[in-house]
Structure 1
């Protein structure tokens, strides 16, 4: 194929499938033939709004940051990869020299690039290029679909690790979307004694049970009364939570998480909805409840690949829809409607 078929967002409600030149790898980079790429709600926000918070589409970009592919060409200096290697691609590219990078927090680098989101083309294409150091070989017992799920799984793993979950903790995960399902499994794999999944969608809760959650809970008390809602949750749990992981982004859920924690507990925010919200921060302060945030991932791909390849985490069950590249708009509509859990795009035939 002499062209690179790619899904490009030009701005709000402006998505185009275009034929571009095949990109060539620079020194220490590789060219990748795309295989499976996951569709994320971030991609939908970029299409619907032309932005995600401070990230604004000011020039066309190829979207797709949940990436798997095969190495198709090596740039000069690449020695750890070979043509034909199957890889999962970490979309984050940090500068390596700023204040945050020098302190081991490269995921919040001020000059961060993110394939398919910020300053760099992503994976909804026939080919892309990426730094070799961001490409992680996946073992033979993992599929390319599973490889694409390393990005959302790494978000869940990063949240659990940044929350400093202690082995034996009681964990409540709020929101049974892809990141919530993966955060739930990460908490179990990393030592939680029990994990409850909270959601209002019965089908999502059924899926959580199939994926190994300890128990599920569908709230009936409205979140306008967070204390009463938390009492209902804690009664179902039979305990207070050591750690609440908020993955829904829905209004009021962070406040529910604060009220559901025991003194000295933690709230981890993974599902960012409203940037400004009304929560009982003072109550969290006097009960020494830590409110934490986590962005993307911090070098978690090797651990994620290990957990999946060893059968400790099941990412494949979250995939509900598989579509060709030409039908990416159908995928966006599925994500927007809530009918899907995880949509993946097959780029092998594009």
Structure 2
């Protein structure tokens, strides 16, 4: 079968590889990927990896490079193991890609995303969404309604990251919110705070194309350019009750300046949520955190039971995740029109998906 595999830094290839065996373990599912997104984690691997893709056999999954990539995907079930009853051949599914023990400290508490042995489909598992076939555990496969498009089903995974951040901020109707950074997760976070009923909503984003997209997604959002607008925290405070600042600020970049902007803009005893992943240490004003008596929440992935809620929000129309998709490409275009396009400093693309169905 054809599969897109990561070998090393800036070395991604579309290759012929052996298809998985159809002799499944009782708790396994064989699927045909339909649509797969390119994630920021994939980009980090491409530019600076290997980071989380395993050079040595993964401690839990045993996976090693080269790795079939892709962890944000929808699929069609082809075959199921003897113990599987929640999906059947022909079902459309969204893939929850986290793989971890069910019986370690975190697994016994249902906190599967926190296991120290966690693996991930498309990063540290034998199979990924950018292949024509994949074998997964039953718990990785979530049946979705045929009312969801292949694209919407693929977007549940990154939408779960965004919604978890909004949950951790306890955003509710009437919350004043700042979203700092409108990359794919920031854009989904913006949609999620809108769905929660936040108002007013502020955005900080240096890229003009992404500022324009923010206004398309949420027209009432008040958008700032951190590279040219003066004293954004003061401008935000001036638009909140008694000029105290926002209730919640969501940092979606993973950058020191963005984090400190959120701290400056949030009100006393407000909440800052770290959604973006930092790749280096950040210098912060911890005394200001104390003086403002703020809560700082940090998030990692998502609780895996969030899938039904995200799917329901998408199907109900309150979470239009498909609106951030800017391009769809073929597997043979994944480097030039996928990874390299997303690394373009002009940032004209937000979310690029790879159409896998029928690509043999």
TM-score (structure 2 length as normaliser):
0.89
Question: Would you say 1:43 and 2:24 are equivalent positions?
Answer: no
Is 121-130 or 133-142 further displaced after alignment?
133-142
1:1-350 equivalences under 5 Å are 4-24=1-21, 25-52=24-51, 56-58=54-56, 59-212=65-218, 214-220=220-226, 228-235=231-238, 239=243, 240-298=245-303, 299-330=305-336, 331-337=338-344, 338-348=347-357, 349-350=359-360
Give 1:246 shift: 0.7
What whole-Å deviation, never above 9, does each CA across 1:63-114 have from its counterpart, x for those lacking one?
1010101001112211111111011001112212222223332211111111
Separation (CA, whole Å) in 1 of partners of 2:117 and 2:126:
12
Give 1:221 shift: 5.8
Give 1:185 shift: 1.6
Separation (CA, whole Å) in 1 of partners of 2:251 and 2:197:
19
What whole-Å deviation, never above 9, does each CA across 1:128-160 have from its counterpart, x for those lacking one?
111122211221221001111001100001111
Give 1:326 shift: 0.8
Separation (CA, whole Å) in 2 of partners of 1:221 and 1:181:
19
SS at match of 1:197: strand
- Ranges in structure 2 where 5+ consecutive residues have no aligned partner: 57-64
Separation (CA, whole Å) in 1 of partners of 2:288 and 2:226:
23
Flag the 1:321–1:57 CA change in 2: closer, same or farther, 3 A. Answer: farther
Does the aligned pair in 2 maintain the 1:156–1:179 contact within 8 Å? yes
Give 1:210 shift: 2.1
Separation (CA, whole Å) in 2 of partners of 1:106 and 1:237:
38
Give 1:57 shift: 4.3
TM-score (structure 1 length as normaliser):
0.92
Separation (CA, whole Å) in 2 of partners of 1:204 and 1:60:
33
What whole-Å deviation, never above 9, does each CA across 1:154-207 have from its counterpart, x for those lacking one?
000111112233442111111111111111121222342332222122322222
Separation (CA, whole Å) in 1 of partners of 2:227 and 2:132:
48
Flag the 1:20–1:220 CA change in 2: closer, same or farther, 3 A. Answer: closer
Give 1:220 shift: 4.8
Is 176-185 or 145-154 further displaced after alignment?
176-185
Superposition RMSD on alpha carbons, in Å?
2.0
Separation (CA, whole Å) in 1 of partners of 2:307 and 2:253:
23
Separation (CA, whole Å) in 2 of partners of 1:62 and 1:198:
35
Does the aligned pair in 2 maintain the 1:37–1:347 contact within 8 Å? yes
What whole-Å deviation, never above 9, does each CA across 1:198-228 have from its counterpart, x for those lacking one?
21223222222222253132235679x9xx4
SS at match of 1:99: coil
Give 1:310 shift: 0.3
Does the aligned pair in 2 maintain the 1:185–1:213 contact within 8 Å? no
Does the aligned pair in 2 maintain the 1:202–1:218 contact within 8 Å? no
Flag the 1:237–1:329 CA change in 2: closer, same or farther, 3 A. Answer: farther
Does the aligned pair in 2 maintain the 1:174–1:253 contact within 8 Å? yes
SS at match of 1:244: strand
Separation (CA, whole Å) in 1 of partners of 2:290 and 2:111:
26
What whole-Å deviation, never above 9, does each CA across 1:274-329 have from its counterpart, x for those lacking one?
33011112211231111111111112111110000000011111111110011110
Is 113-122 or 63-72 further displaced after alignment?
113-122
Does the aligned pair in 2 maintain the 1:46–1:57 contact within 8 Å? no
- Ranges in structure 1 where 5+ consecutive residues have no aligned partner: none
